[in-house]
Amino acid sequence: MDPRLRRACLLGAIPLCTGLAILLTWMATRWEFLIGAGLLTIALGVVAVLLGTAQVWAARGAPFGARVALMALLWGNFPAAGFAVMAAEDVMTSFTVSVRNASGALLQDLEVRGPGDRARLGTLAPGGSALCRIRPTGDGLLLVDWNRAGESGFAEPEVYVSGGLEGHIDIEIRAEGLPVVHYTPRALGWFQRVAYDA
Residue 51 pLDDT: 96
Residue 48 pLDDT: 97
Strand partners, 169: 97, 183
Q: Stretch 8-19: mean pLDDT, rounded?
A: 96
Least confident among 11-25, 128-142, 181-195 = 181-195
> How many helices and strands, by DSSP H and E, does the chain display?
5, 10
| pTM (2 d.p.) | 0.70
Residue 187 pLDDT: 56
Whether the pLDDT of residue 198 is over 60: the answer is no
Residue 14 pLDDT: 97
Residue 136 backbone dihedrals phi, psi, to 5 degrees: -65, 145
The DSSP bridge pattern shows strands 167-174 and 180-184 to be antiparallel
Q: Tell me the per-residue pLDDT of 44-97, one tens digit each, with 9 for 90 and over.
A: 999 999 999 999 999 888 899 999 999 999 999 999 999 999 998 888 888 888
Whether the pLDDT of residue 98 is over 80: the answer is yes
